[in-house]
Structures are given as structure tokens and as C-alpha cells.
Amino acid sequence: MILDRFRLDGKVAIVTGASSGLGVAFARALAEAGADLVLGARRTDRLADTVKLVHDAGRHAIAVASDDCNALVAAAQDEFGVVHVLVNNAGVGTIVPATREPPDHFRQEIDINLMGSYWMAQACGRVMPPGSSIVNIGSVLGLTTVGTPQAAYAASKAAIIGLSRELAVQWTGRKGIRVNTLAPGYFLTEMTEPGVGGYLDSLVEQRVPLGRLGELEECAAAVVFLASDASSYVTGSVLVVDGGLTAT
């Protein structure tokens, strides 16, 4: 059955940035597809709600502070013995004009979004069995511009696309680990909510053919696809989920 390829029964998935927004939606969707979860976030106090969502879906989850990538993977191995899926979702985004952005601010955003994804992928890539999947969360801002001054964020997300491609070439044939990028458009989350009623409404009207923000489950379904055997012949690719924004 084709739908069986989307199942993640018996799989263990790590989701970083799992305390809010898309990270919560990703964790819930993976659990509903059958995976057990290791949930990472800097705000560990907020992970309890995500753990409950996973338990409500009938799966097991643990919450771990994710500042230390190797410790997060070690916790997954201690609890479950294996890691099959990584969703590299942790990240930050700010709006700062390029002429006024301090060097430390730019470096911090690159460090969290790009370097954090790399070290997390590296830690998982060392222990994942063949057939595993890494989903690096990029952004449409790695592919296009939307008129907001976000040089650091755009640079980090464009770099994630290149990172995923390189890791796919290194690891898919040799280790059996697929690596892909998911590039979301605009979804209503803590990061985007301040723009609702202002520039986001204008952006949707002018640039999004579907004429609305995305629903969290629409992005989460794409993560399940990339994490599961439904995408077993997909690696080194970028899956854009943006309502058509990058087509305009």
C-alpha cells in the first residue's frame, strides 16, 4: 500500500526547536505517523506541551536541552538505542538593515541557523543506520527576497541548501542517509505573527498565488514525506512549501 510508505512505525526522530511554531507541528505529525520523539529546544520549560502532544498521539517522547548536539544524540541513544530521523528546525530570524547590523548579531544568527544545523547533522550522521533521513529546515528566503532586511537570515538559509546538498552527496551513497532541505514560506508562528496586519498581509496579496498564509499541518505533512520511505528516492533536494511565493 502506498500509504504505508508514509508510516514511521518503529522509527525514532529528533526534532530541534520543538518548543513552538513549526517545531511543535513537526513533532506532532511525526508522532501521528508512528515515530517516537526526542525533542530539543533551548526553552526546555516549554517542551512539556509538545511531549504531551506526542503522548496523545500514542507515542513516547523525551525532552532535552539542545545547546549540546552530541548530548542530544546521546540522550536519544540512551532512551531508544537508535536515531532514524533528524528534523533540523531550531533557528532565529530578525529584521535589521544591512548598514546597521553589528558583526556579532550577524555571526550569532549564522551560528544558530547554519552552524547549529551542521553540528546537529554531524552528530546524527555518525550514528544513524542506513535508511535514515535528515531534513534541514531552510526558508524561501534562501531562494528569493521579499523586501525585508534580513541579510543574516537569508544567508544562513541559502547556506543550508548548499549544506544539505553536500551532505547528501557525502552520506547517501556511503552511509545510506538521505539529506534534504524543506523551504517553508510564511506560516502563522511566533516568528511571523508580528507581521500579520502589516507587511505579511501585503506580501500574501502581492506574491502568494494561493492568497493566504500556510497552515502548520501543510508544512508538517511535507516533513513526514521527507522523513519517511515515501521519499526514498529523494536526496539533495529542496522541497518548497510556500503557496507559490517563489514562483512569482
The 10s digit of each residue's pLDDT in 152-193 is: 999 999 999 999 999 999 999 999 999 999 999 999 877 666
Q: Nearest CA to 180 among 98, 121, 235? A: 235
State residue 198's pLDDT score. 76
Task: Tell which wins on pLDDT, 105 or 43.
Answer: 105
On whether the CB atoms of residues 172 and 180 are closer than 8 A, the answer is no
Question: Is the whole model's pTM more than 0.85, yes or no?
Answer: yes
State residue 194's pLDDT score. 59
Domain annotation for the chain: domains and CATH numbers: 2-241 (3.40.50.720)
pLDDT digits (tens, 9 = 90+) for 49-76: 999 999 999 999 999 987 799 999 999 9
Q: Rounded mean pLDDT of 18-45?
A: 94
Q: In sequence order, what DSSP letters do the residues of 43-73 get, joined into one string? A: -GGGHHHHHHHHHHTT--EEEEE-S-HHHHH
Residues labelled as active-site residues = 153
Q: Return phi, psi of residue 128, to 5°.
A: -70, 140
CA-based max dimension of the chain = 55
Sign of CA dihedral 118, 124, 129, 131: negative
State residue 21's pLDDT score. 92
| pLDDT of 24 higher than 80 | yes
Amino acid at 234: V
Q: Which residues contact 125 (CB under 8 A, 6 or more apart)?
A: 134, 167, 171, 175, 177
